[in-house]
Structure formats: structure tokens, C-alpha cells
Amino acid sequence: DAKTTQPPSMDCAEGRAANLPCNHSTISGNEYVYWYRQIHSQGPQYIIHGLKNNETNEMASLIITEDRKSSTLILPHATLRDTAVYYCIVRVPSGGYQKVTFGTGTKLQVIP
Amino acid sequence: NAGVTQTPKFRVLKTGQSMTLLCAQDMNHEYMYWYRQDPGMGLRLIHYSVGEGTTAKGEVPDGYNVSRLKKQNFLLGLESAAPSQTSVYFCASFERDRNTEAFFGQGTRLTVV
């Protein structure tokens, strides 16, 4: 699995868009980008994933660069409840043994 | 549909004691993973399984053993607990051949004194 690099922390004003970057320069052609978040010490929660096209769901948008070496998770209108650690991971969805590893993530603090 | 359930939720062990953490999923998932999370740190992979009867080592396997005798259960064992194993343990599962997300349990908080 490719490694990912994320900034350790970010602040965002409540109501503004939060843009969380992730670098995955060694990603392979068949690896998907997944985003999860962890609120307090709860189990990580799935947010969104994509391969090469931009994706949007009710929680967030995912923008993947054309060369797929980086991506950005966008929370369009951040609320205090979005304060959490956000993890970006890459993995192949099928076949063989897969070490699905998490880095240290980005701690997002939404400020009132 | 309970998803992923971890048992127990909390436990205090004395150094040298043994215990087994249970992860159970009711989604018929092939892949199951055990992670540990230390304070202020990310999740680190301990062991994982890609199917019944198969297991593999992750990033930090020392001091732990695992078994996957039934597809729905993934057991994590500590044979001789050490204070360094004080952590929160998370289990996750997901389908093998589909582009879907992982489902996580709510964690087991283990303290070794």
C-alpha cells in the first residue's frame, strides 16, 4: 500500500470550508483513496473514497489531482462537530494480502 | 445488524496476565484487522486476516497472537501482558472484492498495570 502524508493539524472557522490535503505520490493505478475521521476516541468513521474522478456525498467532497499524487477532502460548511482527526489512506479494493495502514492523520479544530 | 462488535470495552490487567479480545462482525466480510492506538497517535496495524483460517502480521505484531477460526470472529490474544500494551484496540472489517469502506468497532480500552 502507498504511504500518505498529511499535515498534523489545521484550524477552520465554523461555517467555512475545511480543505484537508493528502499527499500520496507513490499511489498505484488501481489504488483508491479513502478518507476516515475519528472523533475523540471512537472508532474511525468512513467519509468518502475515490479512484480518479472527483466525488461528492452528503458529508464531503473529494478532489483528486489529475496525476493522482495528491487529494483534498473538502468539508463545505464546517461545524463544531467536525472537529476530529482525519485520516487519508490508499488501498486496493480486491485481491491478495493488504496491509491497510493509517498514518497519524490531520487534527482538524473547528473554531467558533 | 450490529456491524462490528468488540468485547470487552474496558479491561485492566496485571503485568504477566493473559487475555483475549474478541471482534465479531455480522456482514460476512472477508477482511478483518486489529489496530492499536496510543494516546495522541494514529492507528497502527497489529495483525490482519484475509479469510477464515488465515492471518498475517502487521506493523507491530510482537506480543500478540491472533486466530480466525470462524469467518465472523477475529481474536486478538495477549499471552503475557506488559505495560507497553496499554492502549485502545480497534477492530475493522471490510469486503474483499468490492470497493467499499471499512467498518470499525468502538474500541477496547486496555490498561496493563
Give tens-digit pLDDT for A61-78: 999 999 999 999 999 999
pLDDT for the residue numbered B99: 67
Cβ-based contacts of B2 with chain A (< 8 Å):
none
CA gap A87, A77 in Å, rounded: 19
CA gap A32, A75 in Å, rounded: 20
Confidence band (pLDDT; 50, 70, 90) for A96?
A: low
pLDDT for the residue numbered A59: 93
Q: Using CB atoms, pick whichever of B45, B106, B109 lies closest to residue A43.
A: B106
Q: Which residues of A touch B (CB under 8 A)?
A: 32, 34, 36, 41-46, 49, 85, 87, 93-105
pLDDT > 90? residue A40: no
CB contact under 8 A, B103 and A41: no
Distance of alpha carbon A99 from the chain centroid: 18
CA gap A88, A38 in Å, rounded: 12
Residue B52: partners with Cβ closer than 8 Å, 6 or more residues away: B68, B69, B70, B71
If you average pLDDT over every residue of chain B, what do you get?
92
Q: Percent of chain A at pLDDT above 70?
A: 92
pLDDT along chain B (113 residues), means of 10: 88 97 94 92 90 91 96 96 97 78 92 97
pLDDT for the residue numbered A1: 56
Q: Using CB atoms, pick whichever of A42, A95, A104 lies closest to residue B41.
A: A104
Residue appearing with cell numbers 501482558? B81
pLDDT for the residue numbered B41: 84
Each residue's pLDDT tens digit, A3-33: 899 999 999 999 999 999 999 998 888 888 9
User: Nearest C-alpha of chain B: how many angstroms from A66?
Assistant: 20
User: Nearest C-alpha of chain B: how many angstroms from A16?
Assistant: 26
pLDDT for the residue numbered A102: 82
Which chain A residue has the Cα nearest residue B98? A93
Which chain B residue has the Cα nearest residue A42? B106
Cβ-based contacts of B86 with chain A (< 8 Å):
none
Which chain A residue has the Cα nearest residue B33? A100
Give the best residue of A37, A39, A46, A52 to mutate against chain B (max B CB count within 10 A): A46
Closest residue by Cα to residue B51 from B34, B35, B28: B28
Confidence band (pLDDT; 50, 70, 90) for A41?
A: confident
Give the best residue of A41, A53, A62 to mutate against chain B (max B CB count within 10 A): A41
Q: Using CB atoms, pick whichever of A41, A45, A97 lies closest to residue B56.
A: A97
